[in-house]
Amino acid sequence: MKKTITIPLGSQHISLLEPVKFRFVCENEKIIDVSSDVGFVHRGIERACATKFTFEKIPYVVARICGLCAITHSLCYTQAVENLLDGEVSLKAKYLRILLVELDRIHSHMLCLSHVSENAGFEAMFMQIMGDREYVMSLQEMITGNRVQFDYISIGGVNRDIDTNISSQIKKNLTIIKQKVYDYIEQFENNWSLSLKYKNIGKLSLDMAYQYNAIGPLARACGLETDVRSESAYLPYVDVGYKMITRSNGDIYDRNMVRLYEILNSIQMCENIVDGLPSGEIYTKLKGKPNGESLVRLEAPRGELMYYIKGSGKPLLDRVRIKTPTFSSIPAFIEVFKGSDYGDAPAILASFDPCMSCTAK
Amino acid sequence: MKNLKKIESSLETIKNDIKEFYDPKIWGFLTLNGVCIDIETTQIQWIFAKYKAIDEIVMFYVDVKLSQTVPTITDIIPSAIISQREIVDMFGINIEDSQKGLYLDEDSLSTPLAGCGI
Amino acid sequence: MKSSIIQAFKNLLSKPITIDYPASPIIKPFGYRGLIKYEETECIYCLKCEKACPPEAILFVKTDNPSSNEKNKKSLEYLYNPYLCIYCQECVRACPKPSLALWQSEEKPSSGIMEDKVNEKWFEIENLKRGDKL
């Protein structure tokens, strides 16, 4: 007589935001084995970038891979191409690029925290965090003209400048958000049904994180100190006030705390940029066509993003390879599921913060 | 590019080279990659990056033809299984222990990146 | 626990933050990205905007009754598709006379909800143009 039963957490489920399919093999409510299927939204972007679009149009194509991390894809590709052309990007353009990447990180972490509270049953907190996220979205609309797809980065600089009106509005909105984030930290630290019941659930130990190459907030919650913002020299993060935030336990409670403190650090960095913005041009024209190989990494809200391009002196590139953060974390997800209860599976999945349109490009 | 170090290897020695080089606490495995050189040859690359160092990247590469089989490295690095399945889908190269079907269905266009996109 | 009860009472007594569009209007921000406008008498027909557009929403096609501009040597006509356009301003940046011949206005594009098969005629023109080149 069979001892196990197969239960799907399928591509259609009430608490699932992303199209992913898991098949759990369970014995008496404990999960023993997992098989997964990603790739429901494959659109063939790598082939389109090598056959149909010239190298100047690709930042607009690649930004439409994902909605939440649109600007990180665009910026990472642009930095890889600027390595192969001659010319230098001005310091003011680099500071403006960091400003938008950090604003993007703030609203993406707020979306993940609201989804975690909805899974815990606290629907009022979900609506409150989504309402407070509007302060950040209206700032982005004021700077770039759009709430989600910015179209702000071009090869050689950025497209629009900020004036004194916009800077004072940025500081006003960020002060409001900072007070609200302190309230959230107090709720997440003291409320039993929201987050204290998740201690020691969905745990990933430090040895497993080394073995399965975990990245992003998932790794920093276990104690593995890895962050591309301190391992790369393309953007001046050290001058702006960046600090790495780690915890040591590796469960769902620690991942929430890492995200909350990263929002506070990003708010501090944005205020430093607006106070100390250097003067200069926002766009310089770079000459030539890309010839050779280039590899650049960048820290997206979910982990480490990598672009590899190869050109041979023509307007069409030979190869564009994209490695997204959720793609490398899938083996770590599958390892955490084994050994936990079936009833905790939606909460564990929401705390990983998967982005499936980035994975299946 | 300044910080990119490329090391050439061959199909018989690649598994031993990676085993001697890789230490999980110093090097982080990024991904596998395939580049089309001409109609019959594809170059497969294994990319690693160092923790706590600024932009130090090492790449092992092998030139492979369509009829050859590439050895698998999942016993050394367990998280490489998903990158290997993507290369099998996109380029049509045989890798041990990796099945087709990660992104593409059976009745869709197959091996879209092989043969330099023609 | 006490702070969430206080927050619940505050939410009970305050107004909702949703804007009930279209009953109340939405305030457009400064620098709204609207439709692209073209002035034919200033154009020099260099075709740089057609090469720079990422989704290829601007096409110059041959026509039988060309305009009286002296720079229009190959009898071309300017066509623009507002449903393919992404309003990124690449064409305005590539134009040699940006505020005189081509500029971006603040006019809101129409949404195309009640129209059927909006892009069929455009795709026929694109196929003809690709056939001319081959």
pLDDT in tens, A256-273: 999 999 999 999 999 999
Nearest residue in A to B32, CA atom: A323
- CB-closest option in A131, A151, A186 to C86: A151
**CA A47 – CA A320 distance, rounded (Å):** 8
Comparison of pLDDT for A235 and C114, the residue scoring more? A235
Q: Where are the domains of chain A?
A: 4-359
Lowest mean pLDDT among A21-25, A130-134, C14-18: C14-18
Q: In chain A, what residues touch B35 (CB-CB under 8 Å)? A: 310, 318-319
Q: Is the pLDDT of residue B118 over 80?
A: no
**CA A344 – CA A331 distance, rounded (Å):** 19
Comparison of pLDDT for A62 and C130, the residue scoring more? A62
Q: Are C3 and A160 in contact (CB < 8 Å)?
A: no
Residue C62 has, within 13 A of its CA and on its CB side, a CA count of: 7
Strongest mean pLDDT among A297-306, B64-73, C76-85: A297-306
Q: Which amino acid is at A32?
A: I
How large a percentage of chain B has pLDDT more than 90? 29
Q: In chain A, what residues touch C32 (CB-CB under 8 Å)? A: 145
For A360, list phi and psi in degrees, rounded to 5: -100, 85
For A27, list phi and psi in degrees, rounded to 5: -125, 110
- Tell whether domain B3-117 is in CATH 3.30.460.80: yes
Which residue carries 């898991």 as its tokens? A22
Of A179, A27, A213, the closest CA to residue B83 belongs to: A213
Residue C7 has, within 13 A of its CA and on its CB side, a CA count of: 14
Mean pLDDT of A281-295: 91
* CA separation, residue A184 to residues A131, A339, B65, C7 (Å): 13, 31, 57, 12
- CB-closest option in A60, A124, A190 to C86: A60
Q: Calculate how close chain C gets to A171, using CA atoms only, in Å.
A: 18
Mean pLDDT of C45-72: 87
* CA separation, residue C52 to residues A77, C88, C93 (Å): 18, 11, 9
DSSP class of A307: E
- In degrees, to the nearest 5, what angle opens at C-alpha B21 toward C-alphas B17 and B24? 135
Q: Does A111 touch chain C (CB under 8 A)?
A: no
* Alpha-carbon dihedral angle through residues B21, A297, A18, A188, given to the nearest 10 degrees: 100
Please state, rounded to an integer, the average pLDDT across all residues of chain A.
91
Chains adjacent to A (≥3 CB pairs closer than 8 angstroms): B, C
Lowest mean pLDDT among A7-11, A344-348, C29-33: C29-33
The reply to whether omega before C22 is within 30° of 0 (cis) is yes
Mean pLDDT of C108-134: 79
Per-residue model confidence (pLDDT) at position C29: 79
How large a percentage of chain C has pLDDT more than 90? 14
Phi-psi region of A194 (alpha: psi -120 to 50; beta: other; left: phi over 0): alpha
Q: What are the structure tokens assigned to A328, written together? A: 């490398």
- Tell whether domain A4-359 is in CATH 1.10.3720.10: no
ipTM over 0.90? The verdict is yes
* A60-84 tens-digit pLDDT: 999 999 988 899 999 999 999 999 9
Would you tell me the crossing angle of helices A252-275 and A164-190 to the nearest 10 degrees? 160
Of B101, B8, B85, the closest CA to residue B46 belongs to: B8
pLDDT tier, C124 (very low <50, low <70, confident <90, very high otherwise): confident
Per-residue model confidence (pLDDT) at position C70: 81
* A224-262 tens-digit pLDDT: 999 999 988 899 999 999 999 999 988 999 999 999 999
Per-residue model confidence (pLDDT) at position B66: 85
Q: What are the structure tokens assigned to C57, written together? A: 């929403």
* A143-195 tens-digit pLDDT: 998 888 888 999 989 999 998 999 999 999 999 999 999 999 998 988 888 88
Per-residue model confidence (pLDDT) at position B117: 61
- In degrees, to the nearest 5, what angle opens at C-alpha A131 toward C-alphas A129 and A137? 100
Cβ atoms of A342 and A7 within 8 Å: the answer is: yes
* CA separation, residue A152 to residues A146, A313, A347 (Å): 10, 26, 35
Q: In chain B, what residues touch A211 (CB-CB under 8 Å)? A: 24, 78
Mean pLDDT of C103-130: 82
Q: Is the pLDDT of residue A124 over 90?
A: no
Mean pLDDT of A318-326: 93
Per-residue model confidence (pLDDT) at position B38: 84
Comparison of pLDDT for C44 and B114, the residue scoring more? C44
How large a percentage of chain A has pLDDT more than 90? 58
Mean pLDDT of C77-94: 90
Cβ atoms of A202 and A345 within 8 Å: the answer is: no
**CA A328 – CA B89 distance, rounded (Å):** 17
Cβ atoms of A214 and B24 within 8 Å: the answer is: no
- Say how many CB pairs under 8 Å bridge A and C: 36
3-state secondary structure of A320: strand
Q: Is the pLDDT of residue C90 over 70?
A: yes
Please name the residues in contact with B33: beta carbons below 8 A apart, sequence gap of 6 or more: A308, A321, B44, B45, B47
Which residue carries 């030979």 as its tokens? A318
Q: Calculate how close chain A gets to B87, using CA atoms only, in Å.
A: 11
- CB-closest option in A231, A294, A306 to B31: A306
Three-state SS sequence of chain C: CHHHHHHHHHHHHCCCCCCCCCCCCCCCCCCCCCCEEECHHHCCCCCHHHHHCCCCCEEEEECCCCCCCCCCCCCEEEEECCCCCCCCCHHHHHCCCCCCCEEECCCCCCCCCCCCCCCHHHHHHHHHHHHHHC
Per-residue model confidence (pLDDT) at position A101: 94
Please name the residues in contact with A331: beta carbons below 8 A apart, sequence gap of 6 or more: A212, A213, B78, B79, B81, B82
Mean pLDDT of A127-146: 91
Q: Does B58 touch chain A (CB under 8 A)?
A: no
Per-residue model confidence (pLDDT) at position C3: 76
Per-residue model confidence (pLDDT) at position C134: 58
Per-residue model confidence (pLDDT) at position A158: 92
Nearest residue in C to A183, CA atom: C3
Do the strands C102-104 and C36-38 form a parallel or antiparallel pair, or are they unpaired?
antiparallel
Q: Which amino acid is at A66?
A: C
Q: In chain C, what residues touch A183 (CB-CB under 8 Å)? A: 3
Buried b (16+ CB within 10 A) or exposed e, C58-97: bbbeeeeeebeeeebeeebebebbeeebbbbbbbbebbee
Mean pLDDT of B34-59: 90
Q: Where are the domains of chain B?
A: 3-117
Please state, rounded to an integer, the average pLDDT across all residues of chain B.
87
Per-residue model confidence (pLDDT) at position B1: 58
Phi-psi region of A314 (alpha: psi -120 to 50; beta: other; left: phi over 0): beta
Buried b (16+ CB within 10 A) or exposed e, A341-361: ebebbebbbbbbbbbbbbbbb
Of B34, B32, B31, B39, the closest CA to residue B117 belongs to: B39
**CA A347 – CA C102 distance, rounded (Å):** 52
**CA A129 – CA B77 distance, rounded (Å):** 39
Q: Does B25 touch chain A (CB under 8 A)?
A: yes
How large a percentage of chain A has pLDDT more than 70? 100
Q: Is the pLDDT of residue A87 over 90?
A: no
Q: Calculate how close chain A gets to C89, using CA atoms only, in Å.
A: 9
* C13-25 tens-digit pLDDT: 888 888 888 888 8
Q: Are A295 and B29 in contact (CB < 8 Å)?
A: no
Please spell the DSSP secondary structure of chain B, one letter per residue: -TTEEEEE--TTTHHHHHHHH--TTTEEEEEEEEEE-SSSEEEEEEEEEETTSSS-EEEEEEEEETT-EEPP-TTT-GGGHHHHHHHHHHH--EETT--S-SS--TTS---TTGGGG-
Q: Calculate how close chain A gets to C31, using CA atoms only, in Å.
A: 7
Mean pLDDT of A123-151: 90
